[in-house]
Structure 1
Amino acid sequence: MRSWRSDVVGSLLRPEYLKEARRRHEAGELSPAEFKRIEDRAVDGAIALQEGVGLDVITDGEFRRYAFYGHLVDSVEGFDKFGGWAMPFRDDEGREHVVRRPVVVDRLKRRRPMAAEEFIYLRGRTDRQAKVTLISAQQAAAYYDPEKSKGAYPTIDAYLADVVDILRQEVAELVRLGCTYIQVDAPQYAALIDPEIREGYRQRGNDPDRLLDQCIELDNAVIGDHPGVVFGLHLCRGNNQSRYYASGGYEPVARVFERTRFHRFLLEYDDARSGSFEPLQHVPEDRVVVLGLVTSKKPELESKDLLKRRIEEASRYVPMERLALSTQCGFASTEEGNLVTPMDQEAKLRLVAETAREMWGDS
């Protein structure tokens, strides 16, 4: 069992110069080669930040993507980038922000690998454990619209069969390149956690528990059989510019712990919306739980003593040797980023690394 104690979910705040470079590149004002040099510079900074604060696991910050799912939309033909249904995110004061999602409008065709460039560059610039993040097939299901997509795929099952095929190819390519830690991001599980959203499914004639079983089957199909490779599942309740879209504890999706083939579960646990640690009793004895206790949504820095008490509380359900620590989500699931500063981000990542060392020693 791998003992990486301080983990990172994936995305980091994009530097302003990178956001400006992407805008200029998309406007045709910056050549692909010039844009790549700027991307590389930004990723070098992300690596230096994570190594500098002492994290055991690092990513490239998802700096080569416009959103956490951007690697799918940009590398696979068949999507209308902003033509999907709108997703409302809200904050604790009830303010909303609506995000336009992609929608599949043509048969999917994999033009290039989704994350190989990210991993190859990262692998060559760090001796820490490198992690690559991938979208889940179940998240991609949200990009199917019965009307807009039916010309390409008459059913969502036909569409998801192609999505799974593409993700399996991506996993095989990453493993061939030497990747040993792949994280699957599945925020859509939150819809099966939230009581109101579950009831909405029922009213539309969908059984949320049957949907959950389908999601588990899709995830297991994507993981396949790759000995020596650690697969992590990240569950959160939405993360867009410090807003969320769901609430509720993990009990309704506890079967995810019991029946998926993931080795690590990276779970949002930064506030009361996440519920108690009690559902962790369903996690099998050979799996690791990464507690997302440090919020990426708000600038206030958590108390190290409080984090330690919460880790001890979680150890009532999962032994200490099978626990680890991370932020609750990334800092920039979309290019705009959360309402925190780079200094806030660095302080929180350092807090994760220091707390983990004090709790478990050096990995």
Structure 2
Amino acid sequence: MSSAPRNPPFRAEHIGSLLRPEELVKKRYAVADKSASPDELVPVEQKAIKEVVKLEQDCGIHSITNGEYSRHQFWGTFFETLEGMEEVNMREGGYDQSIFRAYAPDVKSFMHAKTIPNSVTVATGKIKHTRNSSFLPEFEYLKTLVPESEWKNIKLTLTSPSWYHFRYGPKKAYVDGVYENDEQYFKDVAAAYQMELKILYDAGLRNGQVDDPNLAYFCSEAMLEGWKKDKENFQTADEQLDAYISFYNDCLKRPADFHMGIHLCRGNYLEGRHFSEGAYDRIAAKLFNNLNVSTYYLEYDTPRAGGFEPLKNLPKDKNVVLGVVTSKSPKLEDQKEMVERVYKAADYVAEGSGQRREEALQRLCVSPQCGFASHAEGNPLGYEDMKKKLQLVRSIADEVWPGQP
């Protein structure tokens, strides 16, 4: 069995989004309400990205991102730019809210807070990539900020393949007459995803991270109970999880030197709110052994994520980045306690693979549990708090893996 890839991932990682400067947030809203032109946003955005790249470098973080400053929310605009996909919430008269799974954790939270989700994008025609990538400009600008030798370190957050499919009821991610079943829909989304990855790879991207709350929802007892009660479902939750893993694998076909990771969390909404709870135990064996990614960025900052026992399922050729530092509040964790948690996790990895702790540690890294600003407004902590969190992640890594990036 081959060894797990390294550099990336790096011993000290972060998930992608960072707190946006107030000037950037205000300017983007001004563009949205047409009180400012899109051209006015560019210099504000680029200035903020330059500054946040320097922050990452100063904190010793090697997986460089743009803080997701080019986006309003973490999933970006991949689906919205595909041929055949339409933001039906932009239509005059809106849309039928009955298309949603009311028990989907994010939908449940949205409905409770403001009655409608942020974006409602469905397939109203056959899905096809236009060969214009909405992610490519992010990568190209980042390339201008670091030496060519470090381009391979640049990490882009990629949209979850099931992001829109999961929130809608059975066969409601596409309108009647477009697709007969999920298999047809998945096939076209996968083809579009492969085209996106090819464009990014040809431009030099070698480090991708899929941000995916959906798979973690299969750990939620409340979601699973809602699934059982939904008489429209034509497959069990376990069958849907299997279908998603197969679908993801089709989407994520890529060259061997393209490092791909997936971040699973339980939600990271306004004011640091989460959407669901539940340990990884229920999905760990399938997640680690059947999903074709090299690295898992896992939330481990609170008891709602469960214990480290599921890490016994981690294969020897894969990594886990332990999100033991919370990004949801300013309170700074105790470094000694976090180091001990990393060692405890390593012991479970070692037990599962018949290794010593020192060997198991080679497949682990550390990070905040999630991004600091999955949505524009960000979590309830300040810029200096975020900086201290990133510095803490670096210090934990330096203590556990001295001298390793």
Which of these residues, 132, 156, 160, is aligned with residue 132 of structure 1?
Answer: 156
Look at both structures and tell me which one has the larger radius of gyration over its CA atoms.
2
Which of these residues, 229, 232, 236, is aligned with residue 258 of structure 2?
Answer: 229
Is contact 1:7-1:58 (8 Å) kept?
A: no
One-letter amino acid of the counterpart of residue 158, structure 1 = Q
Between 313-322 and 133-142, the greater mean CA deviation after superposition: 133-142
The equivalent residue for 1:58 is: 64
- State the shift of 1:76 in Å: 3.0
Is contact 2:288-2:313 (8 Å) kept?
A: yes
Whichever structure has more strand as a proportion of its residues is 1
Three-state SS of the structure 2 residue aligned to 1:87 is: helix
CA distance in 2, matches of 1:89, 1:228: 39
Q: Structure 1 residues 317, 123: CA separation in 2 closer, same or farther (over 3 Å shift)? A: farther
Which of these residues, 170, 181, 184, is aligned with residue 158 of structure 1?
Answer: 184
Is contact 2:122-2:164 (8 Å) kept?
A: no
Is contact 1:267-1:289 (8 Å) kept?
A: yes
CA distance in 1, matches of 2:328, 2:50: 24
The equivalent residue for 1:250 is: 280
Q: Percent sequence identity over matched residues?
A: 32
Between 228-237 and 70-79, the greater mean CA deviation after superposition: 70-79
- State the shift of 1:100 in Å: 3.3
CA distance in 2, matches of 1:285, 1:22: 44
Three-state SS of the structure 2 residue aligned to 1:49 is: helix
Q: Structure 1 residues 38, 76: CA separation in 2 closer, same or farther (over 3 Å shift)? A: farther
- State the shift of 1:66 in Å: 1.1
The equivalent residue for 1:104 is: 122
The equivalent residue for 1:44 is: 50
- State the shift of 1:190 in Å: 1.9
Write the deviation string for residues 164-206 of structure 1: whole angstroms up to 9, x where unpaired. Answer: 2221111111111111111111110122111121122122244
Gaps (5+ residues) in structure 2?
90-94, 101-105, 350-359
Residues 133-282 of structure 1 mapped to structure 2, 5 A cutoff: 133-142=157-166, 144=168, 146=171, 149-151=174-176, 152-204=178-230, 205=233, 206-241=235-270, 242-254=272-284, 255-282=286-313
Write the deviation string for residues 192-224 of structure 1: whole angstroms up to 9, x where unpaired. Answer: 111121122122244111111111111111121
One-letter amino acid of the counterpart of residue 377, structure 2 = E
CA distance in 1, matches of 2:166, 2:221: 19
Structure-2-length-normalised TM-score: 0.83
One-letter amino acid of the counterpart of residue 150, structure 1 = V
One-letter amino acid of the counterpart of residue 132, structure 1 = L
Q: Structure 1 residues 172, 147: CA separation in 2 closer, same or farther (over 3 Å shift)? A: closer
Aligned residues: 359
Q: Structure 1 residues 147, 261: CA separation in 2 closer, same or farther (over 3 Å shift)? A: closer
- State the shift of 1:296 in Å: 0.7
Between 56-65 and 285-294, the greater mean CA deviation after superposition: 56-65
Write the deviation string for residues 258-311 of structure 1: whole angstroms up to 9, x where unpaired. Answer: 111111110000010000101011110011110000111111111101110100
Q: Structure 1 residues 336, 188: CA separation in 2 closer, same or farther (over 3 Å shift)? A: same
Three-state SS of the structure 2 residue aligned to 1:106 is: strand
Is contact 2:372-2:379 (8 Å) kept?
A: yes
One-letter amino acid of the counterpart of residue 120, structure 1 = E
- State the shift of 1:16 in Å: 1.0
Is contact 2:309-2:348 (8 Å) kept?
A: yes
Q: Structure 1 residues 164, 140: CA separation in 2 closer, same or farther (over 3 Å shift)? A: farther
Which of these residues, 131, 138, 159, is aligned with residue 118 of structure 1?
Answer: 138
Between 147-156 and 258-267, the greater mean CA deviation after superposition: 147-156
Write the deviation string for residues 117-153 of structure 1: whole angstroms up to 9, x where unpaired. Answer: 1111112212452101111212231354556842444
CA distance in 1, matches of 2:273, 2:114: 8
The equivalent residue for 2:400 is: 359
- State the shift of 1:72 in Å: 1.9
Q: Structure 1 residues 311, 114: CA separation in 2 closer, same or farther (over 3 Å shift)? A: same
One-letter amino acid of the counterpart of residue 248, structure 1 = G
- State the shift of 1:73 in Å: 4.5
The equivalent residue for 1:72 is: 78
Three-state SS of the structure 1 residue aligned to 2:78 is: helix
The equivalent residue for 2:345 is: 314
Is contact 1:114-1:170 (8 Å) kept?
A: no
Is contact 2:217-2:276 (8 Å) kept?
A: yes
CA distance in 2, matches of 1:162, 1:258: 25
Structure-1-length-normalised TM-score: 0.92
Q: Structure 1 residues 81, 22: CA separation in 2 closer, same or farther (over 3 Å shift)? A: farther
CA distance in 2, matches of 1:347, 1:49: 11
CA distance in 2, matches of 1:281, 1:97: 41
Q: Structure 1 residues 277, 7: CA separation in 2 closer, same or farther (over 3 Å shift)? A: same
RMSD after superposition: 2.2
CA distance in 2, matches of 1:23, 1:313: 44
Between 262-271 and 222-231, the greater mean CA deviation after superposition: 222-231
Is contact 2:129-2:195 (8 Å) kept?
A: no
CA distance in 1, matches of 2:158, 2:337: 32
Q: Structure 1 residues 338, 97: CA separation in 2 closer, same or farther (over 3 Å shift)? A: farther
